[in-house]
Amino acid sequence: MTATPQKLSPFHLAIPVYDLAAARHFYANVFNLPEGRSSDHWVDFDFFGHQLVIHEHPKTDSQAHAGTNAVDGHDVPVPHFGVVLGWEEWEALADRLQGQGVKFVIEPYVRFKGQVGEQATMFLFDPCGNALEFKAFKDIGQLFAK
């Protein structure tokens, strides 16, 4: 049985980018995100219904030297951010990104197959070294299941 997802409030996330033009191109063209307000030093994007702001800023230590944690046999970049999509939306995004030749840190795959918390996940970096994860749950009601 699939639980009905609750309506969530959009989050706001501001991230540093040391090449505003490259990051703007990446989010607008790789993900087809609609652009909102902007200035010479920052750009708002509609990130799957949430507000993502890229701010021009010198390269941070985590962008220069990404850390990792071992998870399910993979080196997961830390820190990272992303969004939980519907299963079909995740599959369509994975197919589109693969078709564009996007380089993944962790290729799209399904983990915990047939188990509680079965989920699809993929990781990639933006041009400025910010790590992103996109995931989907077979049963969104198991988002926080143990």
CATH number for the domain formed by residue range(s) 9-58: 3.10.180.10
Residues in Cβ contact with 73 at an 8 Å cutoff, skipping those fewer than 6 apart: none
* The pLDDT value given to residue 145: 87
Give the DSSP per-residue string, 82-141. EEEEPHHHHHHHHHHHHHTTPPPSEEEEEESTTSTT-EEEEEEE-TTS-EEEEEEESSGG
At 36, list the tokens: 């909102």
* The pLDDT value given to residue 6: 65
- Region 47-53: mean pLDDT is 97
* The pLDDT value given to residue 1: 40
Amino acid, res. 126: D
Percent of the chain whose predicted confidence (pLDDT) is above 70 = 96
* The pLDDT value given to residue 66: 83
* The pLDDT value given to residue 85: 97
* The pLDDT value given to residue 72: 86
The closest of 109, 115, 119 to 86, measured between CA atoms, is 119
Cα angle: 117, vertex 83, 57; to 5 degrees? 140
Is-cis flag, bond preceding 79, omega within 30?
yes
Residues in Cβ contact with 130 at an 8 Å cutoff, skipping those fewer than 6 apart: 15, 16, 17, 63, 80, 81
Give phi and psi for 20, each to the nearest 5.
-60, -40
The closest of 18, 26, 20, 17 to 40, measured between CA atoms, is 20
pLDDT band (50, 70, 90) for residue 7:
confident
pLDDT at 46 over 90: yes
Query: If you average pLDDT over every residue of the chain, what do you get?
Result: 94
Q: Which CATH architecture has domain 69-146?
A: Roll (3.10)
Identical fold between 9-58 and 69-146: yes
pLDDT band (50, 70, 90) for residue 90:
very high
pTM of the model: 0.91
* pLDDT, tens digit (0-9, with 9 covering 90-100), for 92-110: 999 999 999 999 999 999 9
What ranges do the domains of the chain cover? 9-58, 69-146
- Region 84-90: mean pLDDT is 97
